[in-house]
Structure 1
Amino acid sequence: MRIRTVLAGAAALLVGATVLAAWPSTADRGGPRWAVDDDSRADYGVCRGTDPGCYHDWETAFKTDGVDRVLVYSATGVSRHAHLGPRLAPGMNPPLTDAHVAQQAMRRWGTEHGLSVDWTEDVLQLDSPGKLLGYDAVVFLSNSRDILDDAAQTSLMQYVRAGGGFVAVHNTLGAEYHWPYFQGLLGGAAFYDHGPSRNGRVEKTSRRDVSVADLPKRFVLKDEFYNLAPFPTGVRILAEVDPDTLEGGGKGFNGHPGHPDQHPVTWCQYYDGGRAWVTSLGHEVALWRDGDGNGDADEQARLFKSHVVNGLLSTMGKKAFCRA
């Protein structure tokens, strides 16, 4: 009896150790619910980083159908940015109004470059791989918190693994905190907090990547600059904001956790067979309007449009991706 009891106890300890080993590390978890001071590189069980060898160059449907398609997914769980307008009706390509500034911009910009653009906030439109594999890129646009169910998560994973393109804009860094795979797709980074929307000087950290190639080396942009914790790891940082230039001060973002001397705003990586381009920029409604003048707001909108459009095109494989 004593032997059986000891063996049972040992087995229980082994099972417990296995469960603990399977639980993601702090760096895997991401988001403000967890400790935010561990930026150690996590591999998320996939090939990720700046090595093109992590990309799956398979003959997936979107590479062979002769049509350049993009899906814009703007579902939100809690907070909702003004540039998204009111929640969209269910289904694919529901009616858009003038208030849906960002969705209208993505459709307009795509059309200008010969892309076929669909849009939705209906998670059922993402619930099987077949629904995504016809798209050259999927744009997650200012999402917040939980915006995917189990079926959609599986579908997105299979899409990325088939060589899909993933673009994340602005508040998507505050989505799916509890899904480690998605946090890895974002570069291991997550939104922690931000100061007021204000002007700051954005600086390019890449010379050749197409998403920044047409931008000045330094330029002023008004945005809701994010404090990130954890910090992105294993990615190529393409642009960052100088915290010393933020209107009203902001060095260290009021002492909150993060990296007071470095605040990346855009980065890229290969992830689990696919391509991922992430930017925290895009808060101001004015950035999504093309403008019709020569003022500062119009110039900022022009630069932002160039940044997003070329990031999207590179993620689709229509231009070189993630260059230093």
Structure 2
Amino acid sequence: MQKLLLTFLCTCVSALVFHLNAQQFKALMVVQTAGWQHESTFDAIPALQKLAKLHDFTLDVKQRAMPLTDQQLARYDVLLMVNTTGDVFTDAEQGAVERFIQSGKGWVGVHAASDTEYDWKWYTDMVGHMFHIHPVVQTAMLEVQEPDFPGLTAWPKRMLWTDEYYEYKDGSKKPGFNYVLTVDESTYDITANWGGDRIAKGHGDFHPIAWYHNYDGGRAFYTNLGHVPAVFGEPAFLQHLYGGIWWAAKGKK
């Protein structure tokens, strides 16, 4: 009887180890801020944890990024930065993140990740379009530019959406960048005036919202969506977000 019990326990342990090792990939989610704290972050954490269970990947969450080291990052396939703001990494951590991407790994930025680390050129080049200003939250029409990209295959060509649409310091198309979502500026009021040079001008006929590209040996995906807390309960958004995470982690489309 004891021998049978021992065999059963060994089988269970082996199955558990296999399951843990069989997970698709490992993701590290950082939500640290050195500026504005988005309310939606508190919805994003449980939503991403549920998404990880649904799609069988490991997700570790750090309320504070520090310390990030080469040894720590080596455990992961993709780094998620969700609503981070300001300067959240030390110089040493910046170096570790650079080497992480250069080793062939992935990065995903959500919403305010483009309002982060303005003085770190490597990072701003990876993001591609850095936040400048935004109007009030409102409804507009999103347009799918690459319907075959993971997470967007079930989206219509145009989608009614409510969010906080960023105007970037430079919104022009960049070589090597692949744009999957844009917003139709004619469908919402771009007006915003924060004083000085912080006056909204819009981007005209092409206003990027989500994009991806290969970068410095690795992969980077960004989506401007994610300001409204309830969006993290919206299946279409979670499909879009997981598509970016999967591509950044695996390099597959």
Q: Indicate the TM-score class for this superposition, using the shorter chain for normalisation.
A: 0.7 to 0.9
Structure number, greater radius of gyration? 1
CA distance in 2, matches of 1:121, 1:166: 17
What is the distance in 2 between the residues matched to 1:157 and 1:317? Answer: 18
Could you tell me which residue of structure 2 aligns to residue 265 of structure 1?
Answer: 209
Does residue 148 in structure 1 map to residue 89 in structure 2?
A: yes
Which one of 134, 137, 140 corresponds to residue 197 of structure 1? Answer: 137
Q: Does 1:75 align with 2:62?
A: no
Give the alignment of 1:229-244 within 5 angstroms.
229-231=169-171, 233-234=174-175, 235-244=177-186
Shift of 1:317: 1.1
Report the RMSD for the aligned CA atoms in angstroms: 1.7
1:201–1:245 Cα contact (<8 Å) kept? yes
Identity %: 26
The normalised TM-score by structure 2 is 0.84
SS of the counterpart of 2:119? coil
Residues 216-257 of structure 1, C-alpha deviations (whole Å, 9 max, x = no match): 1111111000101122522111110001112xx33x767624
Q: Deviations over 1:270-306 (max 9, x none)?
A: 00000100011100001012xxxxxxxxxxx121111
Structure 1 residue identity aligned to 2:200: H
- 2:237 paired with 1:304: yes
Counterpart position of 1:39 = none
SS class of match (1:77) = coil
Match for residue 225 of structure 1?
Answer: 165
Q: Specify the SS of the correspondent of 1:158.
A: helix
The aligned residue for residue 122 of structure 2 is 181
1:159 aligns with 2:100: yes
Could you tell me which runs of 5 or more consecutive residues in structure 1 were left unpaired when the two chains were aligned.
Answer: 1-64, 85-99, 290-300
Equivalenced residues, count? 225
The equivalent of 1:108 in structure 2 is 50
Residues in 1 aligned to 2:160 and 2:200: alpha-carbon distance in whole angstroms? 24
Is the 8 Å Cα contact of residues 198 and 223 (structure 1) preserved in structure 2?
A: yes
Does the 8 Å contact 2:34/2:85 carry over to 1? yes
Query: Within 2, Cα distance between the matches of 1:266 and 1:211?
Result: 12
- Asked if structure 1 preserves the Cα contact closer than 8 Å seen for 2:114 and 2:131, the reply is yes
CA distance in structure 1 between the aligned counterparts of 2:167 and 2:245, rounded to whole angstroms = 24
1:318/1:276 CA distance change after superposition, 3 Å: closer
- The CA distance in 2 between the partners of 1:218 and 1:141, in whole Å, is 25
